[in-house]
Structure 1
Amino acid sequence: MFSRSLPIITLLSFLLVTGCSPDSDWAMSGTIEADELPIAAETGGKVITLLTDEGAPVKQGQIVAKIDDSTLRLQVDEARAYLDQAAAKLEEAKAGTRDQSLRQGAAQVQQAEANVAQTQARSRQAKANYQRAEEQLQQATAQLEGAKRSLAYQQARQDEITRLYQDGAVTKRDYEAQQEAVSQARTQVEQLTAQVSAARSQADSAKSEMDAAQAQIGMARSQASDAAARLDLLQEGSTSYTLKALLAAETQARARLGIAELQAEQANIAAPHDGVILRRNVSQGEVVKPGSALFTMMKNDSLKLKVYIPEADLGKLKAGQPVEVAVDAYPGERFGGTISFISDKAEFTPKHIETRDERTKMVFAVTITLKDGLDRLKPGMPADVFLTEGGREK
């Protein structure tokens, strides 16, 4: 997208006469702008890696961020399994039905049903493990909170005992006993903190196992359904309609695999053009939606400058006319540019022009595309524009 900020403009004299010296060049002032492009996520998920930062140069196609693709990779595996099954069923239907195939089909149905039962059992066990880990985490967290309250109490008690001991109101034995109580309470907090961290890790691991087991149930059921349908097909024999249906199923499975692979590849976020990163809009670990802008970049070859000219001087410029640009950062040096656009609609001089007379003038926007100094000029630099000697109208 293009920067919408209105540059600070100063309209100076327009001196286009024959034989003008370089010191009397016609000059305008503005601010250098650049085309800004978002680097957006094509798929949603958690940002696991950011490979560049603000101000860093990037090349077109360079990977700048990665989104967690573990679920997408599982979808690729699932789609590939569907394709293998569809291709196998189509090939067998073309080969014809044999008694041995019928026995194999029946065995596959039994095996698939057994797999469903096993995955369901694993899922129940994983769910129980997760619930137990959550209970342990809650218990450890509650104990930690209690230990923290106890430590706070003992520390407050130590402050009181210290004052009493300094006043001679308690014995040294009582003072040292209270110090030991604080030390024990602090040790208890440290131990319980470690237990909470371990319990949280166990709960996260158990949750992952539970989710994986649940996904395996769906796959096992799908395999069982496919095995049953395959056995029915073997028992009935293959007709031309059946072959067409199997061919369509294989085509669909192949397309499904292609989509899954494309989505998995989209988890790698690449720069759309050569340029420089201007802003980083997300942090590592943040969950983003499809279309979210992770970075904002500037294209290397897109520096422009917008200035305004009075209506009376509009006929002295034309598109394609060469100009020179000077900035304060490089005194005595000028950079080449070209007038790329002249607005066909007039507008009032921007409000920040100071005098009342200047505010009432009608001006036209002129866009200048910079050709030189793209590696040194930066967006936001104030710049003066001069007509070159070769571009001066006589």
Structure 2
Amino acid sequence: MTDLNIKRIVIISKIQTIWRMKMKNKKVLWLISVLFVLSVTACSGLPINGNDDGDLHASGRVSALQVDIAPEVGGIVQEIKVEEGDSVKAGDILFRVDNTLLQAQYNQAVTMVNVAKVAVESANAQLAAVELQLEMTLQGVRQQKQITVGSAWQESQPDDFNMPVWYFTDNENLAAVDQEVQAAEEALRIELSNLEAVLEDYKNSDLIEVEERLAKAQAAYKISEITLEQAKNADENEELEDIAQDLFDEASSELDATQSSYDRILTTAAAKDVLEARSRFAVAQRRYENALNNLSQLQTGVQSLQFKAAEAAVTMAETGVAQAEANLLQAQTALKVFEIQLDKFVVKAPIDGVVLSRNLEGGEMIVPGSVTIVIGQLEEVRLTVYIPEDKYGQIQLGQSVTITVDSFPDEIFHGQVIRIADEAEFTPRNVQTVEGRLATVYAVDILAPNSNLKLKPGMPADIVINIP
């Protein structure tokens, strides 16, 4: 707004104030007359909203897109790269915050990544080794299989079997025998439980005591017999043989006596129950052992325990590789987090622009979120002016505008209307009188190129909107 317009507004405001005082003395009336003459004289210089040529005149202030730089981290400012007025490009370093502690943690994370990489390499090497062992085992069991495969079809079958020996596949035979092993194991468990129950029932009877004595006597007899045979075969064995013979005779006598006692008890009901329980257990045990033997005979080739053990080793090694790779990924993720955090200690310009203000110094402690630097984009600036309601229809988007500023009185800058407010408002906003606040205007935004960066935020400017 020009000085002439400002003087007009001040004079008119004073006139309005004096009229409201309602004073009736002549001095006041004389002052009103003088002020009125002055106002008319001042107003005769330039119209407020328009000129004889029809263009609209207005005043405003230059503004620009400004970005407040507020770091995400706090700490001591270690280095500052810019001064107020410096031009910067997006990505340029503005300042650094001390990151000593975080850098140490980052270095530790790098070490953990390297350790994890070594673990992955070791796990892969272990996997390769067990895979080779699996291949070697496969070759071995195939060779063993070849020994029996030629005569497999000539094996004799029980007469009750109506199907040929080759009828069922190896896997079917193996599954059937495996089920038999499980059934035999369950039967053995039942018979063992039954035997233990019978022995518990007769634990206080003479039968149990005699059985224990008989078992010991038989063991002593076998050992003494072996000892006597060894003494007879020894050199100069007369003394050895005599002592061994005495030991054997003693064991034989004890066995005879115990056996006689056992024979006498066999006629009792307890003996019959115990004998039956022991017989059933013995048969169940032999059935289970035979089933296991049959299973072992069928477990040849890839069904052999050796091959399955080698396969299990490969599976375990694969699990080890997966775990090592997961640990590596976790370490790399942790390292990435530290990299992101470290990057926040180096504050960079987010846009191209000019440093408008800098509110920090080296060695200063800053807190997260505090505005430290303001960057403005000055290659294009904006101005907002207000036009009265009766001029609203004369303004259109894209209309050309000429701009002058006091700092460069001999230069004319150009712009264009980029926005016209849809709603009216009261302005100037700092008008204190009721009359002034009753005037409604519309805000108009103007965009002006500023490649030479002469227009600065906050500069007052006079604008002429060219009306066709």
Give yes or no for TM over 0.5: yes
**How is 1:223-238 mapped onto 2 (pairs within 5 angstroms)?**
238=316
SS at match of 1:269: strand
CA displacement 1:187-226 (0-9 Å, x = unmatched) = xxxxxxxxxxxxxxxxxxxxxxxxxxxxxxxxxxxxxxxx
Identify the residue that residue 362 of structure 1 maps to in structure 2: 440
CA contact (8 A) 2:94 2:348 kept: yes
Please name the residue that 2:449 is paired with: 371
Residue equivalent to 1:72? 102
Q: Give the whole-Å Cα distance in 1 for the aligned partners of 2:329 and 2:370.
A: 33
2:59 is aligned, of 29, 33, 36, to 29
SS at match of 1:333: strand
1:254 Cα deviation from its structure 2 partner: 1.4
Q: CA deviation at 1:384?
A: 0.8
Report if the CA contact (8 A) 2:386-2:444 is conserved. Answer: yes
Change in Cα spacing, 1:69 to 1:87, as seen in structure 2 (3 Å) is same
AA matched with 1:93: A
Partner of 1:242 in structure 2?
320
Could you say what the CA RMSD is over the residues aligned between the two structures, in angstroms?
Answer: 2.9
Task: Name the SS for the 1:33 alignment partner.
Answer: strand
Structure 1 position 257, deviation (Å): 1.6
> 2:462 maps to which residue?
384
In the TM superposition, residue 54 of structure 1 has moved relative to its aligned partner by 2.3
Residues 76-111 of structure 1 show CA distances to partners (whole Å, capped at 9, x for unaligned) of 21111111111111221121188xxxxxxxxxxxxx
Q: Classify 1:28/1:47 alpha carbon distance in 2 versus 1 (closer, same or farther; 3 Å).
A: same
Question: What TM-score do you get using the length of structure 1 for normalisation?
Answer: 0.55
AA in 2 matched with 1:314: Y
Give the gaps of 5 or more residues in structure 1. 1-7, 99-234
Among all aligned residue pairs of Structure 1 and Structure 2, give the percentage whose two residues are the same amino acid.
34
1:52-88 deviation line (CA, Å, top 9, x unaligned): 2223332322212111122222122111111111111
Distance 2:459 2:341 in 1: 41
| Superposition deviation, residue 374 in structure 1 | 4.9
The answer to whether the aligner puts 1:262 opposite 2:340 as a matched pair is yes
Q: Which residue of 2 aligns with 1:321?
A: 399
Structure 2 partner of 1:251:
329
Q: What CA distance in whole angstroms lies between the structure 1 residues aligned with 2:103 and 2:342?
A: 6
Report how many residues are paired: 242
2:93 — aligned with what? 63
Q: CA deviation at 1:242?
A: 3.2
Deviations 1:229-256 (A, max 9, x none): xxxxxx9994433332221111121122
User: Is the counterpart of residue 344 in structure 1 residue 418 in structure 2?
Assistant: no
Are the counterparts in 2 of residues 303 and 374 from structure 1 also a CA contact under 8 Å? no
In 2: Cα distance, 1:372 partner to 1:47 partner: 33
Contact 1:335 1:370 in 2 (8 A): yes
CA drift of 1:309 comes to 1.0
1:353-393 alpha-carbon deviations (Å, 9 max, x no partner): 477544311111111111146511111111111123xxx23
- Does the 8 Å contact 2:379/2:450 carry over to 1? no
Q: Residue 121 of structure 2 aligns with which residue?
A: 91
Alignment of 1:111-190 (within 5 A): none
Q: Which residue of the partner structure matches residue 295 of structure 1?
A: 373
The reply on whether 1:44 has 2:122 as its aligned counterpart is no
Report the equivalent of 2:213: none
CA distance in 1, matches of 2:334, 2:316: 25
**Alignment check: 8 A CA contact 1:31 1:381 kept:** yes
Q: Residue in 2 aligned with 1:335?
A: 413
Check the 8 A contact 2:379/2:451 in 1, yes or no: no
Contact 1:275 1:299 in 2 (8 A): yes
User: Match of 2:296?
Assistant: none
**For the residues of structure 1 that align with 2:418 and 2:372, how far apart are their CA atoms?**
31
SS in 1 for 2:363: coil
What are the ranges of 5 or more consecutive residues in structure 2 without an aligned counterpart?
1-5, 10-46, 130-312
1:241 partner amino acid: T
Name the SS for the 2:428 alignment partner: coil
Between the aligned partners of 2:336 and 2:432, the Cα distance in structure 1 is 62
TM-score under structure 2 normalisation?
0.47
What is the CA–CA distance in structure 2 between the aligned matches of 1:372 and 1:262, rounded to whole Å?
36
Q: Distance in 2 between matches of 1:374 and 1:318?
A: 27
Give, in whole Å, the separation in 2 of the partners of 1:302 and 1:348.
Answer: 28
Show the counterpart of 1:307. 385
In 1, distance between residues paired with 2:94 and 2:125?
Answer: 50
